Structure 1
Amino acid sequence: MTLQRPSVDVEAIRARHPLPEVMAAAGVELQPRGHGYIGCCPFHEDATPSLSVDGVPDRFHCFGCGASGDVIDFVQRTRNLGFLEAVAELDGGQYREHALTLVRPGPRLRAAPDLAAAAIASERAFEINQLAWEHFATPVGTSFAAHYLQRRRGLDLEPLTHEFTGQRFVGHATHGWAALTEHLKSKGLNDDELIGMDLAMRTRGGRLIDTYRNRLIFPITNASGQIHGFIGRDISGHPAAPKYRNPTRTPVFDKSQVLYRPTHQPLAVDAQVLVVEGAIDALAVAAATAASGTTQRVAACSTNGVSASPAQVQAVLALTHRPPRIAFDGDDAGQQGTVRWVAEACLKQRSPVLATRMPPGTDPADWLATHGPNGLQDLLAAPSGSAADDVPTTIVPGRDIIRALLYKADDPIRDAIDLIATLASQLPSTERRQLLRDSAAEMTRHGWNPCDTYAKALEEAMSEQPNHRPAVWRPAASPSLI
């Protein structure tokens, strides 16, 4: 006997259940953009909006992880259902007893805060963020967050809180719908201020609710201790909840202009900067430096994702004269992010970086949770010529530099010689040799080193370079960046 699949009018399903409404009701916060919406993808760790919704009618597509489809595909993914089960969810029980819970009580499209934000002065914005932080970082909130990190991620904050007495590193947003909103209103804030600072949003029914719920809260501060905004890390475990949430643009927050740094202590002349993907990674590195007594020699920072703007790269380069180390997660997104960092720092800003490649499926916080503060040395080890699968390996990304350059070079040999000679002159001898060797190998692989033409010309160019590393010559970053 052959079972026939019931006929499904897909176009009618899409018409009855608009994709943006279903996604917004599932907890995906959407912002109008062009002909559709954008938001953080719920299917991978997405700190910046990489999800396009309705740009192509009735379709979604993530430019980060590649997830795409229509409203039925979305329900299948978020609920782990088959095709017919997803249709049943959408149509309220045609094939199952339970009606869809995703679509009701309707979407919560976040109100664009631009107009409200425009009326808030920077001084007032910092004041509002401080009031919000006092709500997130109560003794109960900080204790909950610290215990959560220790229990779930093996991250012990005690050495950090001991060294930086009185500083609160992580708070907690409860699951209540309007806990922060009610607290801030009791302090005299009005609705426009809450929306303008992206601390609250309106539901379809007009009710004001919190934008941060059931999340760990990490404050993004500057060297003066002012809070530019908050990173919220989901702890609900709901498959549709974005893992990380950043504010939209406010009078004092622009994601492309800030770095997350757990601490802002003065750094030693020979300090190293470790750039990681997420706030938990950065906090784990900071805790390891406190436990090992190296807080002035190692600085951790994050751009809250694997992408970086020119301003963020400049801010990282300004922290120390040593090349920063890019230590992203051991997955495809982390590798691609490292390549983007190489392109921005090395090609556009002509400053060298080192790449610390994590074992597959591992991030820096995982490594430090397993190996303790001693594991920090693995992240800071001297560059080696090859990568290993079981330990973090630091390399001079010469091959990545050449691949990025060849993608857009007008004169590959001339452009490569000019760039590599400039970068090599800023490196000590061991790293310099690795860069020259790997760049030559990659040029050979692409056919741009016939009869060692490139290698010989590069050697000649290097002989004309001053045989010293430059002093701290990079422009200082503005306070908002660090």
Structure 2
Amino acid sequence: MCLIADSTVQQVREYSDIVGVISEYVTLKKRGRNFIGLCPFHSEKTPSFTVSPEKQIFHCFGCHESGDLISFVQKVDSLTFVEAVTVIAQRAGIVVEETRGSASQYHTDFDTIRDMLALLLAKYQTFLAESGPTVSYLADRGVLKDSFEMFQLGFSPSSFDAASFLKKEGASDDIIDRTGVFYRTDQGQFRSRFSGRLIFPVLDYQRRVTGFGGRVMQSGNSDRSVAKYVNSQESRLFNKRKLLYGIGLAKPAIKKAGFAILMEGYMDVLMAHQFGFAHSVGVMGTALTKEQVQLIKRFTDTVYLAFDNDQAGQMAMQKSYQVLAPFGMTVKCLSMSEKDPADILLAHDADYFQGLIDQAVPVLDRLIETSVNALPNREIDTVSKCLGQLLDVVKLNPSKVVQDHYVGILAQELEIDREIILAQIRKTRYNVVSSLKFSKKDHTSKYLKAASFLAYVSATDQSYRESLRSKLEGIDFIDPDYVKLMGIIIGSDLYNQALYDEIEDDELKKKYGALLIEGEQVFTKVNVTQQIDECIGVLKEYYVSKRREEIKVAIREIEKTGKDTEQILMLLNELKELKSSREQLNYG
């Protein structure tokens, strides 16, 4: 099997534009020597995600996720190590060299699952070409052959035993189960979720199959309990929160147009692409998520919402704005007379739909207009309630300029003094100031801070590490993880991100990443030699104090038995020596 050569992996590890790559996923702002933004790995309103270009490490002060560029891309895109290395190499213009190796070296279960999904897709496509009724259905819906080939549509006949097919291809029961395509009967047998359905493959932004959507095709089936659409089971590969239908096809067009058109369903997106609106993507019938927004933001800061013209679609528009606004996105909405974009495109033409795009208005304008027009009266309680609801939406946008603009509109529309609204919004305005403190909790002792400082300077500076190698005897680093970490640091000739790559334990990796970023926030490299000596003294004091208490406990236990006076004398002598050592340290 061909694998990525170590030389390629090393070049990727040495690639220095960690800020540039992460900026494609997270909006970063410079703060001092580092960059900060909202963490992509947990939900937060105050930025706690920090990237250090100097140390080539990221760390979140909220969820404590840490790592280098490769681990970031792995986690944020759910990639294997090899896939992450390949993505970064392609971005950096690094030639991906291959070598020979065993299949088990890098080939994971996720690679196998993707292989099985790709085999299923090819089979579904073959069945579609052979299914006259399904092809006729697509033609009746106005779908051209070029379109269903471009979107790789398929069909799963009721007679197709997909599980047996995958077993013949070498898939184990565990792999079959994890494809997300099947459910188990009470007898433990596999049954396909997509039997008798038109197949919409769901691809990620790299156009790899993650799962499927399926529309029921049995026209004579009157069972209302049968869902019209079903999707693959949620899994690490098929995570709808992180996927957008059509994103792999839409990427170039989004960049060219400067904005994305966000729709709801599979057919909406397919028809939009067929009519030339290739910058369209779909949320697949679920509420928009922050992960999907982060994916869109890698290609544009502007989104046009083209949701169904019904109550549910209008509610989805408002909820989508609430997710988009905190990311500083420009959000507009189309005014559609028909129910959904597919219907509009088929009933009219591309020029008509382009006109709707040209006439799109900011979502906030639409929400304010709709809310004001819906007021039953102008009594103070009614107006106050309306104002409060609209301010909750307005303040989601991090731009004070945008907020103040809509304060003026609200003042005019609701006939309220502008200063009153300004006072209200300033009182509730989102504060983006972040307090990045390094473990300054009340229970954090001076001993742990001393251990942290020694670990930090030895991890980041060769000369200090060399001097520490001969000074650590008789020092207790308190935290067991710091003991392990210091052993790795002192025993290595690597620094910063290079040393991170050599640490095998995941928890220690996180602790090391946190140490590099948090240490930079707190510790100053002024009079470092003096600080090192003071920290060593503090930790030696800790060792002496701890050992003295251990001896006192041991003496009391021996005295209870009335025996082994010789042992007591030895302990008393050690206690005396420890007292002398403590006095020499001049601490406490």
- In the TM superposition, what are the counterparts of 1:274-423 in structure 2 within 5 Å? 274-289=261-276, 295=278, 299-321=279-301, 323-346=302-325, 348-359=326-337, 362-383=339-360, 396-399=365-368, 416=394, 419=397, 421-422=399-400
Q: 1:259 aligns with which of 219, 241, 244?
A: 244
SS at match of 2:202: strand
Counterpart of 2:119 in 1: which secondary structure? helix
**Shift of residue 363, structure 1, vs aligned partner:** 0.8
1:256–1:311 Cα contact (<8 Å) kept:
yes
Q: Tell me the secondary structure at the aligned position of residue 365 of structure 1.
A: helix
User: Mean Cα displacement is larger for which, 375-384 or 121-130?
Assistant: 375-384
Correspondence for 2:230 = 245
User: Residue 352 of structure 1 contacts residue 423 of structure 1 at CA under 8 Å; is this kept in 2?
Assistant: no
Secondary structure of 1:450's aligned partner: coil
- In structure 2, the CA distance between the partners of 1:377 and 1:200, relative to structure 1 (3 Å rule), is same
CA 1:338–1:249: 2 relative to 1, 3 Å: same
CA contact (8 A) 1:350 1:422 kept: no
Q: Distance in 1 between matches of 2:209 and 2:371?
A: 39
Greater share of helix: 2
Give distance in 2, aligned partners of 1:192 and 1:303.
29
Shift of 1:301: 0.8
1:129 aligns with 2:106: no
Tell me the CA shift for residue 342 of structure 1: 1.1
Give the counterpart letter for 1:318 in structure 2: R
Report the CA distance between 1:440 and its aligned residue.
4.2
* Change in 2 beyond 3 A, CA 1:147/1:424: farther
- Structure 1 residues 399, 128: CA separation in 2 closer, same or farther (over 3 Å shift)? same
Distance 1:408 1:318 in 2: 35
State the alpha-carbon separation in 2 of the partners of residues 188 and 316 from structure 1. Answer: 37
Secondary structure of the equivalent of 1:380?
helix
* 1:378 Cα offset (Å): 3.6
SS of the residue aligned with 1:130?
helix
User: Take 2:213 and 2:172, find their aligned partners in 1: how far apart are those partners?
Assistant: 23
Give the letter aligned to residue 368 of structure 2. R
User: What whole-Å deviation, never above 9, does each CA across 1:391-411 have from its counterpart, x for those lacking one?
Assistant: xxx8844528999xx999999
5+ long unaligned stretches in structure 2? 1-106, 373-383, 427-588
Paired residues of 1:417 and 1:454 also in contact (CA < 8 A): no
Structure 2 contact 199–213 (Cα < 8 Å) conserved: yes
CA distance in 1, matches of 2:390, 2:354: 37
Q: Matches of 2:396 and 2:151 in 1, distance apart?
A: 47
Distance across 1 between alignment mates of 2:183 and 2:422: 62
Matches of 1:413 and 1:334, distance apart in 2: 22
Q: 1:224 aligned to 2:206? A: yes
Counting only pairs closer than 5 Å after superposition, residues 10-21 of structure 1 correspond to structure 2 as none
Q: Is 1:149 the equivalent of 2:138?
A: yes
**Cα 1:192–1:421 shift into 2, 3 Å:** closer
Give the one of 452, 456, 477 matched to 2:418. 452
The answer to whether the 8 A contact 2:234-2:240 is kept is yes
Larger Rg: 2
Q: Distance in 1 between matches of 2:391 and 2:150?
A: 52
Gaps of 5+ in 1: 1-118, 386-393, 426-431, 461-482
Percent identity at matched positions? 21
Q: CA deviation at 1:156?
A: 2.6
Q: Secondary structure at the match of 1:218?
A: strand
TM-aligned CA deviation for residue 190 of structure 1: 2.5
2:358 aligned counterpart, secondary structure? coil
Q: Which amino acid aligns with 2:252?
A: P
Paired residue type of 1:122 = F
Alpha-carbon distance in 2 for matches of 1:189, 1:414: 51
* TM-score, length of structure 1 as denominator length: 0.54
